[in-house]
Amino acid sequence: MGTTIQTLEHNLDIAEIRRQFPVLNQQVNDKPLVYLDNAATTQKPLAVIDALKNYYQKDNANIHRGIHTLAERATADFEKTRDAVKTFIGAEYREEIIFTKGTTEGINLVAQTWGRANLKEGDEILLSAMEHHSNMVPWQMIAHEKKALIKIIPINDAGELLMDEYEQLLNSRTKLVAVVHASNALGTINPIKQIVQLAHRHGAVVLIDGAQSTSHLDIAVSDWSADFFVFSGHKVYGPTGVGVLYGKRALLEAMPPYQGGGEMIGEVRYDGFTWNELPYKFEAGTPNIADVIALKAALDFIDVLGKQNIRSYENSLLQYAYSKLEHLEGLRFIGTAKEKVSIQSFVFNDIHHQDLGIILDKEGIAIRTGHHCTQPLMGRLAITGTSRASFAVYNTIEEIDRLEAGLKKAIKLFR
């Protein structure tokens, strides 16, 4: 299994990287913390923590409107992040970068603005069988309102999209395809470029959920010709409460605003308003200034290490985890796609995932257990949930040994 994932060379100093994450250096239940819940949220490097602290200690001011020095500094830093994001995800224009609360808000924004303006009765929305609830429920809501239909692109038992079936599902009624780049429950990497190409042949718009891919994989929205791309700051070593919606300029221009308020307006009269230009049209109210500024520090952190280095190293961790866990009696891997990010789900036939999670926590090991907000996917795989270990660039071989030892201890306790 996973034989095509190669263990590549990397030139990262992991000990030095770990020193940048103070949270990792602590005891949990009298054992050194092993944090393997990175798909839920990554820890934050000092650079991000310092950026937050620095902003509140030196620059705090409301942006875009103030004429004073602090307001100008804060505005400049805020807008620097927009430029950094543009480069990081390979967008063409800075106006295509909209700051949100996170992936979920980005998807809801598209559903409620583009969806409301463009969907009509009988239109079809294609989602994959492995979508997170946040890339499912917003579409169900607007589909219900507009009497549009949702169709599901099926997967095989390894957790890979059936691309032939996808092609069959596309037709002239398909208005939108919303697919995850990398699955949070399975780790599967979906062939985005191909998905976009096929959808565009039928005139459908494509939204890519990049929540799980942006910290691991090269993102090239323009090259893929993706129409919308969303991700969260807190899963890319950045702060919580900040995320990004990328949209093709022409699409964003044509979309009505999402929320009304300050910032998003051009002119307001008692009897109406005009809206502001991009990207401000979609950023009503005072934004999350500090977290947006600190997001740049997170992206810089990734850039300094290099995505290729990160990917190679994380792949080697994933391979090592396979080799260690596959010997455990009764363990079954869930999600065995050929192309994967460093996420591994597994189940035991006779041990409940919640029980496993409780015992591992006692051993100082943080993993995720449950349905991972993908209940329909769990149903498709005929399981109620999984245990999931997800690796980030600061994880080590020794930590995977600890996971193996913790699992062995749990097995002994439960059998």
| Residue 362 binds to other proteins (criterion: CB under 8 A) | yes
| Burial of 39 from C-beta contacts in 10 A (0-12 / 13-18 / 19+) | buried
Q: Which is nearer to other proteins, 221 or 365 (CB)?
A: 365
Q: Which is nearer to other proteins, 151 or 362 (CB)?
A: 362
What minimum distance in Å lies between the beta carbon of 140 and other proteins?
A: 20
Q: Which is nearer to other proteins, 131 or 363 (CB)?
A: 363
373 is catalytic: yes
Adjacent-strand bridge partners of 345: 334, 388
Which residues in the 81-110 window bind other proteins by CB under 8 A?
none
Which one of residues 385, 386, 395, 407 is an interface residue with other proteins (CB under 8 A)?
385
Q: Applying CB under 8 A, which part among 9-17, 76-84, 207-215, 357-365 lies near other proteins?
A: 357-365
| Residue 133 binds to other proteins (criterion: CB under 8 A) | no
Adjacent-strand bridge partners of 35: 366
Q: Applying CB under 8 A, which part among 67-75, 206-214, 323-331, 367-375 lies near other proteins?
A: 367-375
| Residue 414 binds to other proteins (criterion: CB under 8 A) | yes
Q: Residue 246: name the closest of 283, 276, 194, 207 by CA.
A: 207
Instruction: Give the Cα separation of 91 and 331 in Å (integer).
Output: 42
Q: Applying CB under 8 A, which part among 57-65, 182-190, 269-277, 347-355 lies near other proteins?
A: 347-355
- How many residues sit in the footprint of other proteins (CB under 8 A)? 17
Q: Residue 261: name the closest of 283, 242, 246 by CA.
A: 283
CB 214 within 8 A of CB 238: no
What minimum distance in Å lies between the beta carbon of 364 and other proteins?
A: 12
Which residues in the 19-38 window bind other proteins by CB under 8 A?
29
β 97-100/243-247 pair status:
antiparallel
| Residue 357 binds to other proteins (criterion: CB under 8 A) | yes
**Residue written as token pair 């230009």:** 277
Quick one: CA torsion of 160, 163, 168, 169, rounded to 10 degrees?
50
Find the catalytic residue in 62, 373, 380, 383. Answer: 373
What would the two tokens of residue 356 be?
A: 């496993």
| Residue 405 binds to other proteins (criterion: CB under 8 A) | no
| Residue 353 binds to other proteins (criterion: CB under 8 A) | yes
Report the amino acid identity of residue 136.
M
Q: Which is nearer to other proteins, 238 or 406 (CB)?
A: 406
What minimum distance in Å lies between the beta carbon of 348 and other proteins?
A: 12
Instruction: Give the Cα separation of 115 and 257 in Å (integer).
Output: 12
Q: Which is nearer to other proteins, 397 or 413 (CB)?
A: 413
DSSP 3-state assignment of 124?
strand
β 149-153/124-128 pair status:
parallel
Instruction: Give the Cα separation of 191 and 213 in Å (integer).
Output: 12
DSSP letters, 51-68, are: HHHHIIIII----SS--S
Whether omega for the bond prior to residue 279 falls within 30 degrees of 0, making it cis, is: yes
What minimum distance in Å lies between the beta carbon of 339 and other proteins?
A: 29
Which one of residues 173, 200, 332, 371 is an interface residue with other proteins (CB under 8 A)?
371
Q: Which is nearer to other proteins, 252 or 356 (CB)?
A: 356
| Residue 358 binds to other proteins (criterion: CB under 8 A) | yes
Task: List residues binding other proteins (CB under 8 A).
Answer: 29, 351-355, 357-359, 362, 369-371, 384-385, 413-414
* Catalytic residue list: 373
